[in-house]
Amino acid sequence: MIDKIILTKYIISPKVFWSKFILLGFFILVGFACSLYMEHEGHYVTGMNNQIVWGLPHIFAVLLIVIASGVLNIASISSVFDKKLYKPLAPLSALLAIAFLIAGLIILVLDLGKPDRLIVAMTTYNFKSIFAWNIFLYSGFAVVLAAYIWTMLDREVNRFSKYVGTFAFGWRIILTTGTGSIFGFLVAREAYATAILAPLFIVMSLLYGTAVYFLILKTISKFHKTYISNDILMNLRRLTVMFLFANLYFLFLYHITNMYIAKHVEYEIFILSNGGIYTFAFWLGQLLIGIILPIIVINSKKLCNELSLIISSILILIGSFVAMYVIIIGGQAYPLTIFPDHIIIESSFYDNVVHSYVPSLYEFGLGLGGVALALIIVLIGIANFKFLPTLIKSPKKNLSDEQENTAS
């Protein structure tokens, strides 16, 4: 008999479970209360206005949706690329994807001017709109994921797992393309009008998803002995390095493209050199914390595999938030070029100023509530279904296994 990895439920004391549940539940309630207040009073209580029309809720929502598509990486590697090593990790990856997707969507819906008209959004479509497509892509993705989880967890339908997994993989690539295209198709704004945003969003999703997956698995293993072998650790590390460089490459490409599009040059100058907080956020947050530092940390010889991956994952997540801030808020802050050969001297509608955005606590509460919702779905999921890889040792175990186990 050899050692076996089996999937188990999240086995912790009820006390620990409920304390987490109540903590997350509290944040969800606060988030819901915030959204109710915003809806009741109208959006003037938020930091959003006619200049910055999409704010903090959209940063949270887009980030969560991007992550949702990214965390499915692990499952895709196991099913699409047939890596046995990743197989035990796949179900959790699909669960995370569904949780983050739902959370992102709920934030998006609760920030609508008319959330009560969700039924209109579900019944009236304009198929020219990438938003309308996304409604299908997102809800369809949730269904595909649910089917995928089913095939992975139920032995009777397990043989379909590979096909459903491949389908889910294809779907998520299209989904992230759709998310990137929300911005990519906006001809009016210099920050956005380029199709390169779609692949940029895909590599971002790969990077952020892997980081989130690893951090959540690590957090779970604090309370429950999940099994992460050294091989997987090495693999994740290599993946992260690859995604980091891919991100750097596409970010570089995006800005180079914009610099070559003559009418976008001024926006580039704005975001790269004289945009105040936005320039600062780009260089320090998106580039340094989000990409450069993780590359340095993850390659440092002084830290062990695991620690370097943990630190770089945390840095990547901080960077991801700032990246969304730069893309979503920075892109809107730069005033529209209505008259390419004129300067606007006077306007009552802020046509000639760089817009500022000070988010309100309500928006922040809504965003945090969304994150808490994602986590509570994960918590409930792993406590009730067998998602977590656990090592069952054979009676005649040897020392090398012991070593491997401590690494987790």
Is position 280 an interface residue for other proteins (rule: CB under 8 A)? no
Tell me how far, at minimum, the Cβ of 367 lies from other proteins, in Å.
17
Which 327-366 positions form the footprint of other proteins (CB under 8 A)? 332, 336-351
Name the segment binding other proteins (CB under 8 A); options: 88-96, 114-122, 244-252, 365-373: 114-122
Is position 126 an interface residue for other proteins (rule: CB under 8 A)? yes
Is position 53 an interface residue for other proteins (rule: CB under 8 A)? yes
The CA-CA-CA angle for residues 212, 214, 217, to 5°, reads 105
Tell me how far, at minimum, the Cβ of 166 lies from other proteins, in Å.
29
Tell me how far, at minimum, the Cβ of 321 lies from other proteins, in Å.
20
Cβ pair 286, 292 in contact under 8 A? no
Is position 54 an interface residue for other proteins (rule: CB under 8 A)? yes
Tokens representing 282? 């780009």
Q: What is the DSSP letter of 44?
A: G
Looking at the Cβ atoms of 121 and 383, the one nearer to other proteins is 121
Is position 120 an interface residue for other proteins (rule: CB under 8 A)? yes
Cβ pair 164, 212 in contact under 8 A? no
Is position 263 an interface residue for other proteins (rule: CB under 8 A)? yes
Which residues neighbour 335 within 8 Å (Cβ) at sequence distance 6 or greater? Answer: 344, 350, 351, 352, 353, 354, 355
Looking at the Cβ atoms of 317 and 329, the one nearer to other proteins is 329
Distances (CA, A) of 400 to 237, 393, 403: 21, 12, 5
The span from the CA of 192 to the CA of 185, in Å, is 7
Q: Residues 18, 26, 81, 125: which binds other proteins (CB under 8 A)? A: 125
Is position 249 an interface residue for other proteins (rule: CB under 8 A)? no
H runs (alpha helix) in 127-160: 130-153
Looking at the Cβ atoms of 156 and 341, the one nearer to other proteins is 341
Is position 121 an interface residue for other proteins (rule: CB under 8 A)? yes
Say which amino acid occupies 200.
L
Closest CA to 381 of 94, 148, 138: 94
- Three-state DSSP state, 391: strand
Is position 302 an interface residue for other proteins (rule: CB under 8 A)? no
Which 129-148 positions form the footprint of other proteins (CB under 8 A)? 129-132, 134-135
Tell me how far, at minimum, the Cβ of 190 lies from other proteins, in Å.
10
Is position 191 an interface residue for other proteins (rule: CB under 8 A)? no
Cβ pair 332, 20 in contact under 8 A? no
283-313 burial string, b = 16+ CB within 10 Å, else e?
A: bebbbbbbbebbbebbeeeeeeebebbbbbb
Distances (CA, A) of 40 to 35, 116, 119, 379, 402: 8, 11, 19, 31, 58
Total chain residues near other proteins (CB under 8 A): 52
Looking at the Cβ atoms of 54 and 213, the one nearer to other proteins is 54
Question: Using CB under 8 A as the criterion, which residues of the chain lie in contact with other proteins when the complex forms?
Answer: 39, 41-44, 49-51, 53-54, 112-115, 117-118, 120-121, 124-126, 128-132, 134-135, 182, 185-189, 263, 332, 336-351
